[in-house]
Amino acid sequence: MAQLTHQRCRNHALRAAVARCPQCRLYFCRECVSDHEGRVLCAACLRRHLPGTERRRTSVLSFVVRSAQLLFGVFLAWLFFYGMARVLVSIPSSFHEGEIWSEFQEPEE
């Protein structure tokens, strides 16, 4: 096992490690560890250890709402490009062929 003095922080690679979390067994710098009930724990293990801080699971309603937002965004993008295509199609072909510009030029003598 490597000594603590030769280890680097898991979150900050340029910093030297000052403690090892007893639960996940990873090394951390002073900024990344906390003292809790006489034990030095990393933030992730401390979050798991404290009551009421369990990770919430994504509900079905949240999934449905996110899916509806995605579909609405795709629909808006489609509507925008469809509208732009309609505008481009409505431009007369004389504009595309350059004939319309000849009307604005002075007649050659």
pLDDT at 55: 56
At 33-76, the pLDDT tens digits run 888 788 888 888 888 877 765 556 668 889 999 999 999 999 99
- Mean pLDDT is lowest, of 6-20, 71-85, 87-101, for 87-101
The pLDDT of residue 102 is 72
Average pLDDT of the residues in 78-82: 99
Q: Give residue 29's pLDDT.
A: 87
Q: What does the alpha-carbon distance between residue 42 and residue 9 come to, in Å, rounded to a whole number? A: 11
Q: Where are the beta strands (DSSP E) in 1-109?
A: 19-20, 27-28, 33-36, 39-42
Instruction: Share the mean pLDDT of the chain.
Output: 83
pLDDT above 80 (res 95)? no
Alpha-carbon gap, residue 69 to 63, rounded angstroms: 10
The answer to whether 31 touches 14, Cβ cutoff 8 Å, is no
8: phi > 0 → left, psi -120 to 50 → alpha, else beta; which?
beta
